[in-house]
Amino acid sequence: MPPVVVNQGLFGEMFGTDEMRALFSDRALVQRYLDVEAALARAQARLGIIPGRAAAAISAVAQVERVDFAQLAARTEIVGYPILPLVEQLSDWPPDGLGQYCHWGATTQDIMDTADVLQLRDALALVDQELAAIGAALATLADIHAETPMAGRTHLQHALPISFGYKCATWLSAIDRHRARLQQLKPRLLVVQFSGAAGTLASLGKDGLATQQALAEELGLAAPAITWHAIRDGFAETTGLLALIAGTVGKIGYDIMLLMQTEVGEVLEPFVAGRGASSTMPQKRNPISSEIMLAAAKIVREQHALMLDALVQDHERATGPWHVEWHALPTAFIVASGGLRGARQALEGLEVRPELMAHNLGLTQGLIVAEAVMMGLAPRLGRQHAHDIVYACCRRALNGEHSFTDALLAEPDVAAVFPRAELEALTEPANYLGAAPAMTRALLAQRTP
């Protein structure tokens, strides 16, 4: 088993998308470091802190293609952080000694944290794209199947009839809330980090806050109300959102897996030749996408647990918790992207089988709507008496003594107030969907794609 599965060739494609993995690659990260350094130079040139020529020269050469990665890796292992070794290289690239103005008044964490924020901004955009696609697929399923009856299940047993569209709409409601949460998170997350060695901007004197604001403007970020380099709730909230998203995706995957069981067979993941196949059982069509969705939920949850632990930092610079983020943040996003892709693949081509939903509804010959019968009898016989009669009839039907309808009609009190045709209508599952179709339509009507 590979040590870091998200970066491994054999399993990696199952646990992340190429787009998300590329965002968190070494080259992409180092380019973000260079982007921040160049933006800092431009911001300080605007304020007259460094020469304009220096800012232009630094911006012109701040390209990842120039980086000697072997040297950077070797020096990073010695220093413990990549920024000092990177600035050593960057400082040599501009002509006429202008590289001396790189990293003016900054500290390592300023550059790394701000680069992280830029990465997370792009990563959240990818997450939102996937959520939008999943939402569209679910909305289509909910609309088509708003009145398609199926068994609602509690404790893995038949409970009451629902519609498949209603089930999809409940999934959709969570996806829509996650999209709203993502937008609500942005003002708290997309904030520049530029505060100097202990967070006071002392190295820049009176120009410190102006530099911070100008850097934020250069990068399209907000300026913070106060230094946050040891207060990491924004990053932890981000993985919390991912954990919520992955949890919802896992729930959808779990439901699909259960509905795909041979004994149920009410939905199937899209058919792709060979997908979900067994090495020994040619008949198998395993729920591979749903399995990845469920696995992603568990893995992302653990990354969020790490981020919660990393919130507990010492004084004004962490002596280890910060390093936890270097593992947890990329892993959370990459694995979440794999789960989201699995959900999109499963839902955009989900094979829905209404005929098997109807067949399964009839397995108990009306028992699934025992509540409907009880509520129908209650006005005529009294609720408690109706409950006791229906309960006894259910037991006889379950024991195989009678069908549910025949057991009911064998009760003199029932036969006296209900003709058979009316009773059979009460035991028809499709007649007892309640407000499920209406709620489904209402959700679809009020949502913004």
Higher pLDDT, 4 or 200: 200
- Predicted confidence at residue 326, as pLDDT, reads 92
Helices within 145-206 (DSSP H only): 164-189
C-beta separation of 257 from 295 below 8 A: no
**What average pLDDT does the segment 197-221 reach?**
96
CA distance 194 to 213: 9
- Predicted confidence at residue 37, as pLDDT, reads 98
- Predicted confidence at residue 417, as pLDDT, reads 84
Q: Per-residue confidence at 283, pLDDT binned at 50, 70, 90?
A: low
In degrees to the nearest 10, what's the CA dihedral of 261, 263, 264, 268?
40
Q: Kindly report, as residue ranges, where domains of CATH 1.20.200.10 are found in the chain.
A: 119-146+161-195+221-362
Per DSSP, the three-state class of 250 is helix
CA distance 434 to 49: 69
Q: Kindly report, as residue ranges, where domains of CATH 1.10.40.30 are found in the chain.
A: 367-427
- Predicted confidence at residue 428, as pLDDT, reads 87
Q: Which of the four CATH numbers 3.40.50.920, 1.10.599.10, 2.60.40.2550, 1.20.200.10 does domain 119-146+161-195+221-362 have?
A: 1.20.200.10
Strand 351-352 relative to strand 267-268, pairing: antiparallel
User: pTM value?
Assistant: 0.92
Dump pLDDT digits (tens) for 303-352.
999 999 999 999 988 888 889 999 999 999 999 999 999 999 999 999 99
Q: Per-residue confidence at 404, pLDDT binned at 50, 70, 90?
A: confident
Amino acid code (one letter) for 32: R
Q: CA angle 56-58-62, nearest 5°? A: 120
Q: Per-residue confidence at 2, pLDDT binned at 50, 70, 90?
A: very low
pLDDT at 374 over 60: yes
Dump pLDDT digits (tens) for 31-88.
999 999 999 999 999 999 999 999 999 999 999 999 999 999 999 999 999 999 999 9
Question: Which sign, positive or negative, has the C-alpha torsion 252, 255, 259, 260?
Answer: positive
Fill in the DSSP letter of residue 222.
B
- Predicted confidence at residue 277, as pLDDT, reads 44
> What residues are labeled active site?
155, 278
Dump pLDDT digits (tens) for 103-153.
999 999 999 999 999 999 999 999 999 999 999 999 999 999 999 999 999
| CA-to-CA dists, residue 317 to 109, 189, 232, 320, 385, angstroms | 9, 19, 11, 9, 70
- Predicted confidence at residue 232, as pLDDT, reads 95
Q: Per-residue confidence at 3, pLDDT binned at 50, 70, 90?
A: very low
Q: Which of the four CATH numbers 1.20.1440.230, 1.10.40.30, 3.30.420.40, 3.40.50.2000 does domain 367-427 have?
A: 1.10.40.30
Across the chain, mean pLDDT equals: 92
Per-residue tokens: 436: 């499920």
- Predicted confidence at residue 276, as pLDDT, reads 52
Higher pLDDT, 421 or 250: 250
Q: Per-residue confidence at 8, pLDDT binned at 50, 70, 90?
A: low
CB-based burial of residue 387 (10 Å sphere; 0-12 exposed, 13-18 middle, 19+ buried)? middle
CB-based burial of residue 40 (10 Å sphere; 0-12 exposed, 13-18 middle, 19+ buried)? buried
Query: For a pLDDT cut of 70, what percent of the chain falls above it?
Result: 94
Strands, E assignment, 188-258 = none
Compute CA 397 distance to the chain's CA centroid, rounded to the nearest angstrom. Answer: 44
